[in-house]
Amino acid sequence: MCESDGVSAMSAIRELNFAAKGEARLPLPDRCSLDVSCFEEPEVQDALAVAIEEILYVVAFSGIELQALDGVTVTSDCRAAACALQALPQGQVPLEMGPQPEVMEMARTAAVRRGGDLRFHIVLRRGLALSTLSPEPEMQRLALGCIAHEAAHVEHESHLYRMFRESYGKPLECGNRSRQTFLKAMDVWSEYAACRSSATFRPEAVEEFEGILCRAIEDSFCAALEQIKAHREGRGAGDVFRELQQLFGDVFICAGYLLGHVHGVERNLKDRTPSLEEVFKKNPPVIDLISRLERILHELWLQEFVWESIEVFAPIYDLICEMMAQCGLVFAKHEEEWRIVMYEETEAMEAAIQALQRWTNPPDE
């Protein structure tokens, strides 16, 4: 039963107190909020409060840093709750992955501004929260793994904010690059880092992430051809441009999930299953792109505390653009103007790239 009256809803918003007792100190905030007002039953609220608090202790004990945690909200609609926390105007939603087939969103982490500083709030789907109380170990592991993943987002996103305070949460300055695709490149890192930090809580998820990546790769090529065909039939280039950036950005985000989880359980891409190997064989250029992505992400992981600027994400951006070019789209920006070229034959790729280079770098007169 969701949405109780105002009084009982307020009583279901609690404070979790993690203030250190004695000399022991885990990487947790002194306190944070817990909103379980999605449930009317006090006994369910109490049980969830205990379970979620225990999980946060377990996650922090594993080494995931949660000092920047603002709170946890349990809800029936993660997107709506996150938008409300971030005070986004009605109808405006953050740039995010498109819905994945057979995948239901279980949780997300939202950046919220508190007193001039950014903190990070975990939003859990009510079904996932109830899984923390399940008598089935598999369901408990699912809940633990998802919450650990979001906790890892708190750690890595707060680190990104500390490194680049002038960039985080503000309009992104990415030069002549597409802002949409550059944000996708940053999201690839974000999911990779969260998966790598939390993988040991649910190692078996590797197979799930492989399946998601296989579907994303296979579907992307057909979807790209359909979009380009739609352009030939009159659909605006700008609309197709946005759709293809979303499409291929999401493929790389799916790869980030898998690679992070694989590295988190001390494996690598060479340990892939026959199903992923088959997809790579059908799409030879993809294996090179994903292998290069693996190296880039591992280097970012090793150098996370010495990054100098958001330019560290440019190599991921370049890979996404390379995959789009292989599938029929190249683009470039010169001053304030965008030029977009779409084609259905891969042989046209080099000619399109050369044409854009001549446009962005005209010969001296």
Residues 27/61, Cβ–Cβ less than 8 Å: no
Does the pLDDT value for residue 287 go beyond 80? Answer: yes
- The pLDDT tens digits of the residues spanning 132-158 come to 999 999 999 999 999 999 999 999 999
Does the pLDDT value for residue 201 go beyond 70? Answer: yes
Does the pLDDT value for residue 358 go beyond 70? Answer: no
Tell me what the pLDDT averaged over the chain comes to.
86
Q: What single DSSP character describes residue 4? A: -
User: CA–CA separation, 30 vs 216, rounded Å?
Assistant: 41
User: CA–CA separation, 344 vs 332, rounded Å?
Assistant: 18
CA torsion angle for 92, 97, 98, 104 (degrees, to 10)?
Answer: -100
Nearest to 94, CA basis, from 113, 108, 114 = 108
State the pTM of this model: 0.89
**% of the chain residues with pLDDT over 90:** 63
Does the pLDDT value for residue 2 go beyond 60? Answer: no
In this prediction, residue 323 carries a pLDDT of: 94
Where is 118: in which H helix or E strand? strand 117-125
Structure-model confidence comparison of residues 333 and 362, the more confident one = 333
In this prediction, residue 49 carries a pLDDT of: 96
Does the pLDDT value for residue 211 go beyond 90? Answer: yes
Residue type, 197: S
Nearest to 98, CA basis, from 201, 227, 207 = 227
- The pLDDT tens digits of the residues spanning 228-268 come to 888 888 888 889 899 999 999 999 999 999 999 999 999 99
Structure-model confidence comparison of residues 341 and 178, the more confident one = 178
In this prediction, residue 223 carries a pLDDT of: 92
Q: Give the confidence band of 336 by pLDDT, cuts at 50, 70, 90.
A: confident
Does the pLDDT value for residue 349 go beyond 80? Answer: no
In this prediction, residue 245 carries a pLDDT of: 94
User: In this structure, what token pair is assigned to residue 320?
Assistant: 């996404």
CA torsion angle for 15, 84, 171, 161 (degrees, to 10)?
Answer: 10
Does the pLDDT value for residue 43 go beyond 90? Answer: yes
3-state secondary structure of 208: helix
- The pLDDT tens digits of the residues spanning 158-199 come to 999 999 887 666 667 777 899 999 999 999 999 999 999 999
Does the pLDDT value for residue 346 go beyond 90? Answer: no
- The pLDDT tens digits of the residues spanning 87-119 come to 754 443 444 545 544 446 899 999 998 888 889
User: b or e along 104-132 (b: 16 or more beta carbons within 10 Å of the residue's beta carbon)?
Assistant: eebbbbbbbeeeeebbbbbbbbbebbbbb
User: CA–CA separation, 121 vs 132, rounded Å?
Assistant: 19
> Which residues is 110 bridged to in the sheet?
121
In this prediction, residue 176 carries a pLDDT of: 83
In this prediction, residue 86 carries a pLDDT of: 85
Once rounded to an integer, what is the mean pLDDT over residues 37-56? 95
Nearest to 109, CA basis, from 84, 76, 72 = 72
- Out of 61-65, 165-169, 361-365, which region has the weakest mean confidence (pLDDT)? 361-365
In this prediction, residue 306 carries a pLDDT of: 94
In this prediction, residue 337 carries a pLDDT of: 78
Q: What single DSSP character describes residue 62? A: T
Chain center to CA of 307:
20
